[in-house]
């Protein structure tokens, strides 16, 4: 299930559950985005990658089901985000 969107301010993306992901950020200007993983009990989100400030593309693999989301923590210009389960 691929999900995509645009950060036009600070906030979080739609979460995606799976074991293998394709993650992409496309920056139009200045912003800071963290990649976060939900704890297995659903109680909190932990940072996996912090302070991403430039175009980003990565595959993310785990040995267990997990849920990921983007969190835009500082915004000046828009950031297009993409998450897909592989």
Gap between the Cα atoms of 68 and 20, Å rounded:
10
pLDDT in tens, 60-86: 999 999 999 999 999 999 999 999 999
Architecture in CATH of 3-85? Sandwich (2.60)
Gap between the Cα atoms of 30 and 38, Å rounded:
26
Residue 1 has pLDDT above 90, yes or no: no
On whether the CB atoms of residues 7 and 72 are closer than 8 A, the answer is yes
pLDDT in tens, 16-49: 999 999 999 999 989 999 999 999 999 999 999 9
- What's the Cα-to-Cα distance from 84 to each of 14, 57, 77, rounded to whole Å? 11, 12, 23
């Amino acid at each position: 299930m691929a999900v995509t969107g645009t950060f036009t301010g600070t906030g979080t993306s739609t979460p995606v559950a799976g074991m293998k992901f394709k993650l992409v950020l496309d920056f139009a200007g200045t912003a800071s985005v963290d990649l976060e993983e939900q704890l297995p009990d659903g109680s909190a989100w932990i940072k996996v990658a912090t302070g991403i400030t430039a175009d980003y593309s990565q595959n993310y693999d785990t040995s267990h089901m997990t849920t990921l989301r983007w969190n835009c923590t500082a915004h000046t210009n828009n950031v297009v985000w993409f998450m897909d389960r592989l």
